[in-house]
Protein backbone atom coordinates (compact mmCIF):
# COMPACT_ATOMS: atom_id res chain seq x y z
CA UNK A 1 0.00 0.00 0.00
CA UNK A 2 1.46 3.32 -1.00
CA UNK A 3 0.54 6.62 0.56
CA UNK A 4 0.71 9.90 -1.27
CA UNK A 5 2.89 12.53 0.35
CA UNK A 6 0.89 14.89 2.56
CA UNK A 7 -1.84 12.32 3.25
CA UNK A 8 -2.70 11.95 6.90
CA UNK A 9 -2.57 8.31 7.98
CA UNK A 10 -4.57 7.22 11.02
CA UNK A 11 -3.11 4.36 13.05
CA UNK A 12 -5.23 1.24 13.18
CA UNK A 13 -7.15 0.92 16.39
CA UNK A 14 -7.04 -2.33 18.22
CA UNK A 15 -10.48 -3.63 19.00
CA UNK A 16 -9.09 -6.23 21.34
CA UNK A 17 -8.74 -3.87 24.29
CA UNK A 18 -12.24 -2.48 23.92
CA UNK A 19 -13.94 -5.79 23.19
CA UNK A 20 -12.32 -7.82 25.94
CA UNK A 21 -14.27 -8.28 29.11
CA UNK A 22 -12.38 -7.88 32.38
CA UNK A 23 -10.32 -10.89 33.32
CA UNK A 24 -11.98 -13.06 35.92
CA UNK A 25 -10.14 -13.64 39.17
CA UNK A 26 -9.10 -17.29 39.47
CA UNK A 27 -10.64 -17.52 42.95
CA UNK A 28 -14.02 -16.54 41.47
CA UNK A 29 -14.01 -19.13 38.71
CA UNK A 30 -16.90 -21.59 38.71
CA UNK A 31 -14.50 -24.33 39.81
CA UNK A 32 -13.15 -22.30 42.72
CA UNK A 33 -16.65 -21.42 43.89
CA UNK A 34 -17.63 -25.10 43.67
CA UNK A 35 -14.67 -26.01 45.89
CA UNK A 36 -15.56 -23.23 48.33
CA UNK A 37 -19.15 -24.48 48.45
CA UNK A 38 -17.95 -28.02 49.14
CA UNK A 39 -15.69 -26.94 51.99
CA UNK A 40 -17.97 -24.42 53.70
CA UNK A 41 -21.29 -26.29 53.37
CA UNK A 42 -20.21 -29.29 55.42
CA UNK A 43 -20.22 -27.26 58.65
CA UNK A 44 -23.87 -26.85 59.68
CA UNK A 45 -25.63 -24.43 57.33
CA UNK A 46 -22.59 -22.20 56.80
CA UNK A 47 -23.12 -22.23 53.04
CA UNK A 48 -26.41 -20.41 53.51
CA UNK A 49 -24.89 -18.10 56.10
CA UNK A 50 -22.16 -17.14 53.63
CA UNK A 51 -24.83 -16.40 51.03
CA UNK A 52 -26.61 -14.12 53.49
CA UNK A 53 -23.37 -12.24 54.17
CA UNK A 54 -22.95 -11.86 50.39
CA UNK A 55 -26.32 -10.06 50.34
CA UNK A 56 -28.11 -12.62 48.22
CA UNK A 57 -31.80 -11.88 48.85
CA UNK A 58 -33.20 -14.02 51.68
CA UNK A 59 -36.16 -15.10 49.58
CA UNK A 60 -33.75 -16.43 46.95
CA UNK A 61 -31.82 -18.36 49.60
CA UNK A 62 -35.01 -19.82 51.10
CA UNK A 63 -36.33 -20.77 47.67
CA UNK A 64 -33.07 -22.53 46.76
CA UNK A 65 -33.15 -24.37 50.10
CA UNK A 66 -36.74 -25.46 49.61
CA UNK A 67 -36.01 -26.58 46.06
CA UNK A 68 -33.17 -28.81 47.30
CA UNK A 69 -35.31 -31.19 49.36
CA UNK A 70 -38.92 -31.34 50.55
CA UNK A 71 -37.82 -30.31 54.08
CA UNK A 72 -35.25 -27.70 53.06
CA UNK A 73 -31.66 -28.12 54.15
CA UNK A 74 -32.15 -28.84 57.86
CA UNK A 75 -31.93 -32.63 57.44
CA UNK A 76 -30.48 -32.57 53.93
CA UNK A 77 -27.58 -34.65 52.74
CA UNK A 78 -24.17 -33.07 52.42
CA UNK A 79 -24.57 -33.27 48.65
CA UNK A 80 -27.80 -31.25 48.73
CA UNK A 81 -26.19 -28.60 50.95
CA UNK A 82 -23.13 -28.35 48.69
CA UNK A 83 -25.19 -28.15 45.50
CA UNK A 84 -27.47 -25.48 46.95
CA UNK A 85 -24.55 -23.39 48.17
CA UNK A 86 -22.79 -23.76 44.82
CA UNK A 87 -25.93 -22.70 42.95
CA UNK A 88 -26.25 -19.63 45.18
CA UNK A 89 -22.57 -18.67 44.87
CA UNK A 90 -22.84 -18.85 41.09
CA UNK A 91 -25.95 -16.68 41.28
CA UNK A 92 -24.01 -14.17 43.43
CA UNK A 93 -21.30 -14.13 40.79
CA UNK A 94 -23.92 -13.39 38.10
CA UNK A 95 -25.38 -10.60 40.23
CA UNK A 96 -21.91 -9.04 40.44
CA UNK A 97 -21.27 -8.97 36.68
CA UNK A 98 -19.95 -5.55 35.74
CA UNK A 99 -18.34 -4.95 39.12
CA UNK A 100 -14.58 -4.90 39.49
CA UNK A 101 -13.14 -8.32 40.18
CA UNK A 102 -11.06 -7.03 43.07
CA UNK A 103 -14.25 -5.68 44.67
CA UNK A 104 -15.96 -9.06 44.26
CA UNK A 105 -13.01 -10.86 45.85
CA UNK A 106 -12.95 -8.32 48.69
CA UNK A 107 -16.69 -8.80 49.26
CA UNK A 108 -16.21 -12.57 49.46
CA UNK A 109 -13.28 -12.17 51.87
CA UNK A 110 -15.27 -9.77 54.06
CA UNK A 111 -18.27 -12.10 54.19
CA UNK A 112 -16.06 -14.98 55.28
CA UNK A 113 -14.35 -12.88 57.96
CA UNK A 114 -17.69 -11.64 59.31
CA UNK A 115 -18.93 -15.20 59.72
CA UNK A 116 -15.78 -16.23 61.58
CA UNK A 117 -13.95 -17.90 58.71
CA UNK A 118 -10.91 -15.61 58.61
CA UNK A 119 -8.56 -18.46 57.72
CA UNK A 120 -10.55 -19.19 54.55
CA UNK A 121 -10.64 -15.47 53.75
CA UNK A 122 -6.84 -15.38 54.10
CA UNK A 123 -6.48 -18.31 51.71
CA UNK A 124 -8.72 -16.59 49.17
CA UNK A 125 -6.68 -13.40 49.54
CA UNK A 126 -3.41 -15.27 48.97
CA UNK A 127 -4.72 -17.29 46.02
CA UNK A 128 -6.14 -14.14 44.43
CA UNK A 129 -2.82 -12.32 44.83
CA UNK A 130 -1.17 -15.18 42.89
CA UNK A 131 -4.13 -15.54 40.48
CA UNK A 132 -4.50 -19.22 41.38
CA UNK A 133 -7.76 -21.14 41.70
CA UNK A 134 -8.87 -22.51 45.04
CA UNK A 135 -8.13 -26.14 45.77
CA UNK A 136 -9.56 -28.60 48.24
CA UNK A 137 -6.07 -29.10 49.65
CA UNK A 138 -5.64 -25.40 50.37
CA UNK A 139 -9.03 -25.08 52.05
CA UNK A 140 -8.81 -28.31 54.03
CA UNK A 141 -5.97 -26.81 56.06
CA UNK A 142 -8.24 -23.95 57.20
Q: Which residues contact 57 (CB under 8 A, 6 or more apart)?
A: none
pLDDT recorded at residue 55 = 95
pLDDT recorded at residue 17 = 44
pLDDT recorded at residue 108 = 97
DSSP assignments along the chain, one per residue: ----TT---PPPPPHHHHHPPPPPPGGGSHHHHHHHHHHHHTSTTHHHHHHHHTT--HHHHHHHHHHHSTTTTTT--HHHHHHHHHHHHHHHHHHTTTS-HHHHHHHHHHHHHHTT-HHHHHHHHHHHHTT----HHHHHT-
- Mean pLDDT per 10-residue section of the chain, whose length is 142 residues: 60 48 82 94 88 95 88 83 94 93 96 95 95 90 70
Amino acid sequence: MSVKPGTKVEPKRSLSAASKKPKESAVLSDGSLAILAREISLDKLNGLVLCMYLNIPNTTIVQASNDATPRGLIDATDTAKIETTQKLLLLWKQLRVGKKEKDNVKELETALREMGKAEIADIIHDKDANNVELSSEALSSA
